[in-house]
């Protein structure tokens, strides 16, 4: 009888240990190239309602792409570009890691920027690495800017976009502002 019990136990364990793969990880957001050095970030369906975007370049420059007057995360709708805009990445900074923070509440961006700066030497940053309230998910993506677009540096950002040297407003960066953090020279 013990032999049969042992045999049935082995068969039951063998049946329970089938060769099933875990479900494939679905990306929370995707990067869509809109030009050689511009991109849109499009959240997937089923994500938390608020998000904020940061890039970290190979040279160590951290940029906050979703800078608002309140400096908090913004509403991000599924299958629509974040902030309904495209973002320009400076070619001279090389490949960037793009951090998309999804949250269930509007999170203050200043503390996230400081924590990203503190964690800049890490290969990977997760929501567990950050001290943030509520539910937060992090999606890390990459983007490599390519030469081919005229650089717009040193512009003044106004209500109508970047004010050019001749006083007009450029429409390429309308609706987007950036905050840049650079490592101190040692």
50 C-beta neighbours (distance < 10 Å), count:
20
33 C-beta neighbours (distance < 10 Å), count:
14
pLDDT at position 127 is 83
Picking from 26, 34, 82, 25, the residue whose alpha carbon sits closest to that of residue 54 is 82
Helices (H), 34-152: 109-118
Please determine, for residue 53, whether its predicted confidence score (pLDDT) is greater than 90: yes
- Note the pLDDT tens digit of each residue in 37-46: 999 999 999 9
Q: Is the C-alpha dihedral spanning 169, 55, 101, 111 positive or negative?
A: negative
Q: How much is the pTM?
A: 0.68
- Note the pLDDT tens digit of each residue in 137-171: 999 999 999 987 665 555 555 555 555 444 444 44
Write down all domains in the chain, each with its CATH number in brackets.
Answer: 27-146 (2.60.40.10)
Please determine, for residue 56, whether its predicted confidence score (pLDDT) is greater than 80: yes
């Amino acid at each position: 009888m013990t032999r049969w019990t042992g045999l049935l136990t082995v068969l039951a364990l063998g049946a329970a240990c089938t060769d099933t793969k875990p479900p494939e990880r679905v990306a929370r957001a995707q990067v869509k190239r809109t030009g050689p050095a511009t991109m849109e970030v499009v959240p997937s369906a089923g994500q938390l309602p608020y998000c904020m975007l940061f890039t970290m370049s190979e040279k160590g420059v951290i940029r906050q792409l979703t800078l608002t007057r309140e400096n908090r995360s913004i509403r991000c709708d599924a299958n629509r570009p974040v902030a309904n805009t495209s973002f320009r990445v400076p070619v001279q900074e090389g490949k960037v890691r793009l951090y998309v923070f999804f949250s269930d509440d509007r999170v203050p961006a200043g503390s996230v920027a400081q924590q990203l700066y503190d964690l800049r030497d890490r290969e990977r940053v997760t929501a567990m690495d950050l001290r943030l309230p509520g539910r937060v998910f992090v999606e890390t993506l990459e983007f490599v800017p390519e030469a081919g677009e005229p650089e717009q540096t040193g512009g003044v950002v106004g209500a109508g976009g970047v004010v050019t040297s001749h006083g007009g407003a450029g429409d390429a960066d309308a609706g987007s502002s950036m905050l840049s953090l650079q490592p101190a020279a040692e």
